[in-house]
Amino acid sequence: MGDGKKNRRTDVKPFDDTKLVPVEKIESNQPDMRVTLEVKMKEGRKHGKPMGLINGTTYVAPKTPTMLTVTAKNTTNPMDAGTYGRNVNAVTAPYNSMVEMTILNLSDDVHPFHMHGTKFQVVHRAYGSDGKKPQVPEVDKLENPVRRDTVAVDGFGSVTIRFLASNPGAWFMHCHMDWHLSAGLAMVMVQAPEKAKEVLKVPSYVEEQCKVWQMQSDHKTLRGP
């Protein structure tokens, strides 16, 4: 949902950053798990406001902050994505697993997706065609692919990234166009939640801040608004 292809300049050829070659050579290993995210913007039927959707769900911040759910002692199934709330769009990955994530853009907007706490390899990018749903591609950049924390996904195009889930915690991933983010085009990548409980300690002032913002900090409410 944007200005549409008809209003775009056709004489601009964006630089393809996947052609950059890192100085420090790191090959791309085969993935232990694969995730597909279908992303798009649409107009809400009831309120007429723009909505960002990832796999059909608009991100809504949960009543219990995701990081507190990850580290809570009474979280019984941290690898279950549903533990973190129905509108969090959580994806979980075991410690040191290689994750392959493909982002399929179902709208004509270009989405610059940014993942916090993670440097990923861009192993494929496909530019889109008007109105044609992108397909999950075969990866083709496996020899020392470029590493990024932000990557642009063309309208009706796709990008495939790989990263090692070696940074325990809850890492926000979102479109870096602010109004797309505010419309809910976001998700949370929960890396190594079982390890996070061991190595991370949430400072007491975080719980105090939760009280100020009237957010749950005791893990009693997990399912969001």
The residue ranges of every structural domain in the chain are 5-14+26-56+89-193
Walk across the sheet containing 186-191 and list its strands.
90-93, 186-191, 169-175, 111-115, 150-153
Give the global pTM: 0.87
pLDDT grade for 222, boundaries at 50, 70 and 90? very low
Burial 134-166 (b: 16+ CB within 10 A, else e): beebebebeeebbbbeebbbbbbbbbbbbbbbe
Q: State the average pLDDT for the chain.
A: 88
Question: Does residue 72 have a pLDDT over 60?
Answer: yes
pLDDT in tens, 81-125: 999 998 999 999 999 999 999 999 999 899 999 999 999 999 999
CB 170 within 8 A of CB 117: no
Tell me: domain 5-14+26-56+89-193, CATH 2.60.40.420, correct? yes
The phi and psi torsions of 53 (rounded to 5 degrees) equal -125, 135
From 32, 58, 36, select the one nearest 159 (Cα to Cα). 36
